Amino acid sequence: MKVYIDLKAIRGTIKGEARDCGVTSLSIAGGVSYREAWDLLANWGRDKGEGVSPFQLEMASKGLNRASKRFSAMSKVTLAQFIKTHSRGRFIVYTRNHAMAVVDGRLYDCNMTRGQSKIEGFITL
């Protein structure tokens, strides 16, 4: 099941933000506010309006004080296959140019990402 995100509601008082799928996915998968996720990624070099790398997402997720681990080189796995085999848990899943959250088998995304999209890796939280 896919849940679309109301970015205005999530961003709150942060205006003029763009390319923030990493912030949004960290916020949702990590169970923290958008502002807290924004600050964690800023500590790892993310500037307002800029995207993030998988490394930045992994390092910022460690700031949530939980065990997190990044897995990569999954280019043969589709998003739909990942969700089917990861029905429990909290994950940040990333493709070549996008990040999204998967929580207990539900995809939280602000884009129209298709299930056939190949994932490059994920971070488990």
Residue 8 has pLDDT above 70, yes or no: no
pLDDT of residue 110: 78
Spatial contact of 68 and 123, defined as CB atoms under 8 Å apart: yes
Domain containing 74 equals 2-124
Total domains, the chain: 1
Q: Helical H runs in the chain?
A: 7-11, 21-30, 34-43, 54-62, 79-85
Confidence of residue 55 (pLDDT cuts 50, 70, 90): very high
- What does the pLDDT average to over 18-22? 88
> pLDDT for 86-120, tens place per residue?
999 999 999 988 999 999 999 988 777 777 888 99
- What CATH number does the domain containing 76 carry? 3.90.70.10
